[in-house]
Amino acid sequence: AQSVTQLGSHVSVSEGALVLLRCNYSSSVPPYLFWYVQYPNQGLQLLLKYTSAATLVKGINGFEAEFKKSETSFHLTKPSAHMSDAAEYFCAVSDRRRDDKIIFGKGTRLHILP
Amino acid sequence: EPEVTQTPSHQVTQMGQEVILRCVPISNHLYFYWYRQILGQKVEFLVSFYNNEISEKSEIFDDQFSVERPDGSNFTLKIRSTKLEDSAMYFCASSEQVGYTFGSGTRLTVV
């Protein structure tokens, strides 16, 4: 069975500092991996996805993530945090079937300190 | 950019009542899903739907739940007899390739 583990339910960074949100996955087959963001009282927006092309994936809003098979990780980074990045971030995994469900992690709430 | 539209955005219902949550997926998408998020918890898979039938459902999706695509555009989730623990945000999603597009959700409050 597939799963993802997000380390840290809350992460605080100063504005302008590096953002690092950690995600480790477990999958018996090569997975697809995703990061979604949820702003307060809003839906889930896809930040980026890994589908086995480049291991470094660039997404929206300056975020990127690197797939590391040896570490079973897919950490999300952004070089310089903005106040507008404050949100809940979800790492997710799916099988490579086109219709497969996505399994979400528990989420990490990112706080940006002025 | 194409969107998944969900209505209503917020619904309050009495325990034991039936509710229908509505979704309009992106028009050329073939795969449809419902997820829920209980307040403060993670997003949980409920059901996937393809070619007018359920592809997969979770343990949460018991006999109280049903899904339907009544016409070419709508995709609905029905809860027959709501319980207090059904209170959650319900998200519809659709996909054509890898990665879903989610709607903004319906917040269901059962009182």
R_g (Cα) of chain B, nearest Å: 13
- Split at pLDDT 50, 70, 90, the class of A99 is low
Cβ–Cβ of B100/A104 closer than 8 Å? no
pLDDT at residue A43 greater than cutoff 80? yes
Cα B41 off chain centre by = 17
Nearest to B99 among A43, A49, A101 (CB): A49
B49: nearest CA in chain A? A99
- Distinct helix (H) and strand (E) counts, chain B: 0, 11
CA distance A50 to A69: 12
Nearest to A49 among B50, B98, B102 (CB): B98
Q: Which two tokens stand for residue B81?
A: 């007899």
Cβ–Cβ of B43/A49 closer than 8 Å? no
CA end-to-end span of chain A, whole Å?
A: 41
Q: How far is B82 from chain A (nearest CA, A)?
A: 23
Between B1 and A36, the higher pLDDT residue: A36
Nearest CA to B95 out of B75, B78, B77 is that of B75
CA distance B90 to B85: 13
Cβ–Cβ of B33/A101 closer than 8 Å? yes
Nearest to A101 among B48, B99, B102 (CB): B48
- List phi, psi (to 5°) of A87: -175, 180
Q: How far is B16 from chain A (nearest CA, A)?
A: 26
CA distance B17 to B7: 18
pLDDT tens string A55-98: 999 999 999 999 999 999 999 999 999 999 999 999 999 887 76
pLDDT tens string B57-75: 999 999 999 999 988 789 9
- Split at pLDDT 50, 70, 90, the class of A17 is very high
% of chain A with per-residue pLDDT over 90? 77
